[in-house]
Chains A and B, each alone.
Chain A
Amino acid sequence: MSDPRWSEHVADILRRNGIRLFATVPDYIVSQVLEHLWADRDCTVVTACREEEGLGILSGAYLAGSRGALLMQNSGLGNCVNTLASLNTAAQIPVVLVISHRGDLGEFNPAQVPMGQATERILAALDIRCVVPHTVDELEAQADGLIELAYTRSLPVAFLLPADLTGGRPDLTRGEG
Chain B
Amino acid sequence: MNRAVATRLLAQRLTDEVVVTNLGQATIDLQQHGDRPLNCYTFGSMGQCSAVGLGIALARPDVRVVCLDGDGSLLMNVGVLCTAATAAPPNLAIVVWDNEAHQTTGGQATATAFKTSLAGLARGAGIAKVIEPANEEELAAAFDRILAEDGPFFVAVKVDKGFAAGALDRDVIGFKLRFMQALAALPIRR
Contact = CB atoms under 8 A, between A and B. Distances in A.
Interface in A28-75: 44, 46-50, 52-66, 68
A83 B183 CA distance: 23
B55 A64 contact: yes
Contacts of B40: 60, 63
Interface string B54-93: 1111111001000000000000010110110011000000
A53 B80 contact: yes
Given A83-B48, A87-B45, A56 B59 contact: no
Given A57-B54, A63-B183, A46 B59 contact: no
Contacts of B179: 63
A44 B47 CA distance: 23
- For chain B, the bracket of interface size reads 35 or more
Nearest to B20: A60
A86 B54 contact: no
B167 interface: no
A122 interface: no
Interface string B127-154: 0000000000000000000000000000
B172 interface: yes
Contacts of A139: none
B56 A56 contact: no
Given A48-B83, A82-B45, A57 B172 contact: no
Given A52-B77, A56-B80, A91-B172, A83 B54 contact: no
Nearest to A67: B59
B172 A65 contact: no
A70 B56 CA distance: 16
Contact of B184 (A60, A65, A86): A65
Nearest to A44: B58
B79 A48 contact: yes
Contacts of B83: 46-49, 53, 57
Contact of B51 (A56, A65, A90, A91): A56
B55 A60 contact: yes
B176 interface: yes
Contact of A61 (B42, B49, B55, B79): B55
Given A65-B59, A83-B48, A86-B45, A91 B176 contact: yes
Contact of B58 (A57, A82, A92): A57
B163 interface: no
Interface of A: 21, 44, 46-50, 52-66, 68, 82-83, 86-87, 90-93
The 6 closest A-B pairs by CB, nearest first: A56-B51, A60-B55, A49-B79, A86-B44, A64-B59, A60-B52
25 contacts: A48-B80, A49-B80, A49-B82, A50-B79, A53-B77, A55-B51, A56-B45, A56-B48, A56-B49, A56-B54, A56-B77, A57-B55, A60-B51, A60-B53, A61-B58, A63-B56, A64-B59, A65-B60, A83-B45, A86-B43, A86-B44, A87-B48, A90-B44, A91-B43, A92-B173
